[in-house]
Each structure stands twice: as structure tokens, then as C-alpha cells.
Chain A
């Protein structure tokens, strides 16, 4: 029964008519996921800094207030944008901004949504990585007389980011699939393109199998590519030590 849906003729016809539109869709899907992850990462850096602020006894009143607001804002941001579906966020952002006069196109609103959403997830990942760093690093930095700022930039963050590379890359791959929901705000991505083909020919299952196939190629090649990049950057591989290592 399933083999009925593998007759190549229909796929050929779909690609003939909608090939260009599907190619455009692939471009937009990749663009939104890549830029969305990058921007999300940048926002996440700021969020994680805000999140880890602790009030020292020596801080003046104004610093305490700012730290509290910053930390509180970061916590609410992460809770809200991880706790609501991206499809809901997309609709709210797109129509709300247009209603107050900010004339955003679907792609602009889509990119904004993916970035804001990704930032929430990456902020938590970064925070986890920072907290789990060896305390010795911070102590060594302090004993070398580094200011907190320098310590953050040169010691803490580079290591935290390196340790987070795997989850960050995973987030990119996840975004490639998740951008499909942006169809509801008229973004002409890959899903929207194959969906148009489906509605045109009424070959829904074939068109969706085609979509699944293309998404699979995109996510798989992106994962392999990222593994190669991680190896180049010398990201430490997480491995469980076997008995002989522990003994020595």
C-alpha cells in the first residue's frame, strides 16, 4: 500500500511545476534557521550575563536595582519564550507589530520570532555551561588580578561557548524543521512550497513525503557539517572514561 506513494511520475510533475518555488522555499528555510540561530545566540549571550548577576554587599543601591531588574527580566524572558509555542509567538509578533504601524514583512517577523525563541533556549544552555565550569578557572583569574569583565570575556565565556557547541548546533538543526510553522504568517518557506504543490495537484501524501525527504537531507547534512566544524574547533568530546583511565 505504501509503495503506491512512491510512483516517480507524480514527483516529477510536482518538481516540474513547483521546482523553482520549492528551491526558493529551501533558501528561505535555511536563511531563517541560520540567521535566527546566530541572532538568537547573540541575544542569549546578553541574557545569560543578566541571568548570572549576583548582588554583592558592596554594590550601591542603583546597581542593586539594575541587577535585580536585569536578572528578573532574563528569567521572565526565558520562561515566557520557552513556555509558549513558536507558532503562537509568530502570529502575535507579526500582527501586533503591524497593528502599531511597524510594517514588517512575513520574513522579517519570522526572523524576529525564530531569534527571540532560540535565544530563550540558548540562554539556558549557556547558563548551564557557565555554572558548570570548573571553579578553579574563576579563582585563577581572580588571583591573576583580572577584572570581572575581563574574566567573563577571556576565560568564562569562551569555555562556556565551547562546551555548549553541541547543543547550539543541535538548536540550528531543530530550527530548520521548526521554521515550518512560520507558514501561518505567509512565509514562503519549504513547507509552504510543498503545501502549495499538494493543494494544487491534490497529491498530499506524495508532496509531504517529498517535503520530509528534503527536510531530512537538510538536517542530516547540516548535522554532519557541524560535526566537522566542531572537530576543527577542538571541541572536547564527552566520553565516559573506561576503567583503565580511572585507575591510572
Chain B
């Protein structure tokens, strides 16, 4: 009797699962819901008071600021939609997009092959360069290249390019690869408390962190990291079936010149400097 019941249960869940098709973006609803961590300056971070440029975070009394926020605002304006920003942890971004909790991901995310198996990406909205973050008073403060990191404990953010680069650096330099952590602030804290020796992050993020934490410094290695082309850029994530939305976002990105991007990033970095 019980076995029969369990089989029926699985059948129901299976049927329900098969029925669910992904949400299709509807321009007529007039809303664009954007997902981001709000914990990754200068791309997206949380502020506690309203300013002229930040945007409210849905469901909280906080505000989101940063490069991604400015891109989101301009995009929403271009598409004629009301912008809603939701704060979502990194691991929840893709599934939130797929299940319709958000419509796009603008969170400093790279269009990697693994992610493309679940979602689609627009053309790039920023190009990145990776640097190594260390403690200024630590053993590796004067490192110049890969070999100088011999014996270092290296860590990266979970489920990001940083994690693979940490592994890459640890293997090449004969350092020790540490298991990844949830978000960048936690990792930065690890560097400050010497739980980790080094982490790898993008240049704008490093600039912002070092400005807020003078006991840290970043190093641009002489030998570049080995990366796929897709890991060197950031794109906007959309659902697989939302081709119309993707095309319209690409149109918007085409008119966003390199000068615009640099100027927006410079402003974002500056705003993130007097956080503390």
C-alpha cells in the first residue's frame, strides 16, 4: 500500500516538473526585474541611505549602488520599463532567473560555457583584467609573478572564474588551493585575518577593496592568467527563450560606448571609496 502511494507521489512530482516551462518575458507588464548580489563593489553593493544615484532594493530599506546598478537604470529607461532590483546571493542568481523570480542578471557575471547550458547571455558590457590581492604586511606582498606564490594559500569565490584561477595559480606556483567561500567580503576578511594568503579578483574590485582596506594591496602578475575569451568579459544573463529581450538589450549595449563604460566604472569606483 505504502509503495503504491510513493509511486503515485513520484508520478505527480514528475508530471508537475515536466509541465513547468520557463517564464517568458512580457514587455507589456512594464517591469524589468534585475538580480544582483549587492555585495560586490564597485559593480553592485548595498547602501543604507538614499542618494541621487542609488536605487531601492526590493523588499528592504536598503539601496543598491554600483556599475551594474547604473547599467540597469539606463537599460530600463531605454526599454521604457520600471526597474526593480532584487538582492540575491551568487548561487541563487541563475535559478532565480530560470524560475522567473528575476528577468535579467546584471551582477558582474561572465558568460561561461557551463552557465550557457542553463541560460543565455547578451554581448559583453564590460571587459576585465584579473589581479592578485594580498596583505601588505604578508609574506607575498612583494610577489611579482607566479613563481613567487610558492607555498601560498590561495582562495577564490565559489562558482566563479576566480575559483578556477585560484586553482590555476596554486597548481603553477606550488601553492595550496583552498576551498572556495560564498562571497568576496568573506574572502577579503580571510586575507585580513591571514586565514588565506591571496585571492584573485578583477581590477576594479581590487581598487575598491584596497581603497577601503589600506592593509591590503593588489598585484598585477607579469605572466597573464590563462583564460577563455568568455572569462575575460562580463555579460547580462537572460532566460533561454527570451530572444526578443536579448536582442533589445544588445541594441542598448551597442550604443554604450567604451568611453561611457569607463566613465561609469570610474564613478562607481569613486563612490565605493568612501563606504567606510
> Which residues on A are within 8 Å of B, measured CB to CB?
17-18, 20-21, 24, 68-69, 72-73, 75-76, 95, 98-101, 103, 105-106, 184-186, 188, 196, 198-202, 204
The minimal Cβ–Cβ distance linking A83 to chain B, given in whole angstroms, is 15
Please state if B183 and A184 are interface contacts (CB–CB under 8 Å).
no
Supply 24 A–B pairs (Cβ within 8 Å), ascending by A: A20-B61, A21-B60, A21-B62, A69-B1, A72-B2, A72-B5, A76-B2, A98-B96, A98-B100, A99-B98, A99-B99, A100-B19, A101-B20, A103-B100, A105-B59, A106-B59, A184-B89, A186-B59, A188-B59, A199-B185, A199-B186, A202-B189, A202-B192, A204-B186
Q: What residues on B are CB-neighbors of A103 within 8 Å?
A: 100
The minimal Cβ–Cβ distance linking A29 to chain B, given in whole angstroms, is 15
Q: What residues on A are CB-neighbors of B99 within 8 Å?
A: 95, 98-99
Extra inter-chain contacts (17) besides given A21-B48, A72-B5, CB under 8 Å = A18-B48, A24-B60, A69-B1, A69-B5, A76-B6, A95-B95, A95-B96, A95-B99, A98-B100, A99-B99, A105-B59, A106-B59, A185-B92, A186-B88, A188-B59, A200-B46, A202-B192
The minimal Cβ–Cβ distance linking A144 to chain B, given in whole angstroms, is 35
| Cα separation A73 to B1 with both chains bound (whole Å) | 11
| Cα separation A225 to B116 with both chains bound (whole Å) | 53
The minimal Cβ–Cβ distance linking A93 to chain B, given in whole angstroms, is 12
Please state if B86 and A186 are interface contacts (CB–CB under 8 Å).
yes
The minimal Cβ–Cβ distance linking A122 to chain B, given in whole angstroms, is 23
Q: Does B39 contact A (CB under 8 A)?
A: yes
Which residue of B87, B192, B275, B276 is within 8 Å of A186 (Cβ)?
B87
| Cα separation A25 to B95 with both chains bound (whole Å) | 25
Q: What residues on A are CB-neighbors of B39 within 8 Å?
A: 196, 199
Q: For residue A186, which residue of chain B has the nearest CB?
A: B88
> Given the known A-B contacts A100-B20, A184-B89, are A199 and B59 also in contact in the complex, defined by CB atoms under 8 Å?
no
The minimal Cβ–Cβ distance linking A7 to chain B, given in whole angstroms, is 16
| Cα separation A75 to B101 with both chains bound (whole Å) | 33
| Cα separation A185 to B16 with both chains bound (whole Å) | 22
Q: Does B188 contact A (CB under 8 A)?
A: yes
Q: What residues on B are CB-neighbors of A100 within 8 Å?
A: 16, 19-20
Please state if B92 and A196 are interface contacts (CB–CB under 8 Å).
no
Which of A20, A199, A204 has the most CB atoms of chain B within a 10 A radius of its CB?
A199
Q: Does B213 contact A (CB under 8 A)?
A: yes
| Cα separation A156 to B20 with both chains bound (whole Å) | 44
| Cα separation A21 to B46 with both chains bound (whole Å) | 12
Interface size on B, residues (CB 8 A): 35
| Cα separation A185 to B86 with both chains bound (whole Å) | 12
The minimal Cβ–Cβ distance linking A196 to chain B, given in whole angstroms, is 6
Which residue of A69, A106, A201 is within 8 Å of B276 (Cβ)?
A201
| Cα separation A95 to B92 with both chains bound (whole Å) | 9
> Given the known A-B contacts A184-B92, A185-B92, are A199 and B183 also in contact in the complex, defined by CB atoms under 8 Å?
yes
> Given the known A-B contacts A72-B2, A95-B95, A202-B213, are A21 and B61 also in contact in the complex, defined by CB atoms under 8 Å?
yes
Which of A73, A185, A198, A202 has the most CB atoms of chain B within a 10 A radius of its CB?
A202
| Cα separation A95 to B87 with both chains bound (whole Å) | 15
Please state if B20 and A196 are interface contacts (CB–CB under 8 Å).
no
| Cα separation A186 to B38 with both chains bound (whole Å) | 12
| Cα separation A202 to B48 with both chains bound (whole Å) | 16
| Cα separation A101 to B86 with both chains bound (whole Å) | 18
Please state if B275 and A204 are interface contacts (CB–CB under 8 Å).
no
CB-contacts of B102-119 with A (<8 A): none
Which residue of B16, B62, B88 is within 8 Å of A196 (Cβ)?
B62
Q: What residues on B are CB-neighbors of A198 within 8 Å?
A: 185
Q: For residue A185, which residue of chain B has the nearest CB?
A: B92
| Cα separation A188 to B38 with both chains bound (whole Å) | 14
| Cα separation A24 to B57 with both chains bound (whole Å) | 14
The minimal Cβ–Cβ distance linking B41 to chain A, given in whole angstroms, is 10
Please state if B60 and A188 are interface contacts (CB–CB under 8 Å).
yes
Q: What residues on B are CB-neighbors of A200 within 8 Å?
A: 46, 185, 275-276
Please state if B59 and A202 are interface contacts (CB–CB under 8 Å).
no
The minimal Cβ–Cβ distance linking A14 to chain B, given in whole angstroms, is 11
The minimal Cβ–Cβ distance linking B227 to chain A, given in whole angstroms, is 27
Please state if B185 and A202 are interface contacts (CB–CB under 8 Å).
yes
Q: What residues on B are CB-neighbors of A20 within 8 Å?
A: 48, 61
Please state if B5 and A73 are interface contacts (CB–CB under 8 Å).
yes
CB-contacts of B146-199 with A (<8 A): 183, 185-186, 188-189, 192
Please state if B61 and A99 are interface contacts (CB–CB under 8 Å).
no
Q: What residues on A are CB-neighbors of B183 within 8 Å?
A: 199
Q: For residue A19, which residue of chain B has the nearest CB?
A: B48
Please state if A24 and B61 are interface contacts (CB–CB under 8 Å).
yes
| Cα separation A198 to B187 with both chains bound (whole Å) | 12
| Cα separation A190 to B89 with both chains bound (whole Å) | 16
Q: What residues on A are CB-neighbors of B87 within 8 Å?
A: 186
Please state if B48 and A17 are interface contacts (CB–CB under 8 Å).
yes
